[in-house]
Amino acid sequence: MKREPGISGSMKRSVAMLVGAASFGAILGHPAVSEAFWARQHPSFCHQELGSAGAYSDGCNVTTGGSIVVSCPVIDTQANPKTSIAFMNVHVDDKSPSFIIASRCVSYYSATGGACGGIDTSVNGIDTLYPPTWAGWNATDFGAIYVTIPPASGGNKSCLKGYYTQG
């Protein structure tokens, strides 16, 4: 059998594998471009802070006895730092004659207590609240959203539907 001059099939495969491995290595070794982050949270992440015991259920104030306040943790990781949150909203369903209030807050890392920034309030029906950006969100403090939910009225419950952050 006569051998033709040129590159053999096995040599072509070896070269192709080498080029493929080099390309894959270059992709892995190339620093990634920073991408935006977002987090969508269900109201079950929230915890009742003030109001009648057991009044918070499925994101709603189920009592007619008064308003409740719930705190909802804000995701704060190296990849999704709270200090880089550029957009935040709180989704609510307000079925009361009053209104729902939302604010960005922190618990201090190195001192007792915490603080909150400005508020946003709802109108009746399904609404989206935008608690204002707040400079008090320092990297070392623990961020949360505080939501005041008015009491149920005539069988209608006001509810927190969830919250969203984006950076």
pLDDT in tens, 42-99: 999 999 999 999 999 999 999 999 999 999 999 888 888 888 888 889 999 999 989 9
CATH number, domain with residue 57: 2.60.120.260
The C-alpha atoms of residue 143 and residue 73 are separated, in whole angstroms, by: 6
- 26, part of any domain: no
- 113, part of any domain: yes
Residues with Cβ within 8 Å of 50's Cβ and at least 6 positions away in sequence, in order, are 68, 69
Distances (CA, A) of 78 to 88, 123, 140: 18, 35, 12
Number of domains into which the chain is organized: 1
Domain residue limits at 69? 38-166
> pLDDT of 94-107, one tens digit each?
999 899 999 999 99
- 128, part of any domain: yes
- 153, part of any domain: yes
- 86, part of any domain: yes
In the chain, the amino acid numbered 123 is V
